[in-house]
Amino acid sequence: MNSKRVDYRLADEKAAREFLSWKYPSPYDIYNALPEFYDEDLRYQTDPMNNIYGMYSQDNGIEKYHPVKLRVTIAQFNKRALRVWEKIGFKPVQVFKRINDEMKFVIMTRDA
C-alpha cells in the first residue's frame, strides 16, 4: 500500500462546488454534474448525514473521523479508475445496475 497519507474531510460548500464543476470527456462524462440538478446535488453533497468526503494529501482525517470502512463507487467500464483504487487497497464488494439505463457500477471498500 502507498505510504502517502491522505486526509478525508467532510465536503463543505466550497469543496462540493469544486466537485460539481469538474467536466470529463466521453465516456467519463457520466460523472459530470447536470445543471438541472446542481442545487439538489449541492445540498446532497454538503449534508453531513450523506457522508460525502473529499480526499486531500495532507494530514490523515481517518484519525479524526474514525470510519470503519472507506467506500468508492465507480462505473464498471472505467477500468483505469478501478485499477487505481485497487492499488491503494480497495476491493470490489458489489456490482449494481443504474435503473434508467442499466449501466453497471462497482462498489469498492477497504478498511480505514
Q: What is the mean pLDDT of each run of 10 residues along the chain (112 residues)?
A: 58 83 90 87 80 59 74 93 93 95 94 84
- Predicted pLDDT of residue 58: 46
| Residue pair 107/96 in contact by the 8 Å Cβ criterion | yes
- Predicted pLDDT of residue 2: 47
Alpha-carbon separation of residue 110 from 42, 47, 84, 103 (angstroms): 26, 23, 13, 23
How many C-beta atoms surround the C-beta of residue 74 within 10 A?
A: 19
- Predicted pLDDT of residue 61: 61
| Residue pair 24/31 in contact by the 8 Å Cβ criterion | yes
Q: Where are the domains of the chain?
A: 1-65, 68-112
Q: Tell me, what amino acid is at 73? A: T
Contacts of 106 (CB under 8 A, 6+ apart): 73, 74, 75, 76, 82, 92, 94, 95
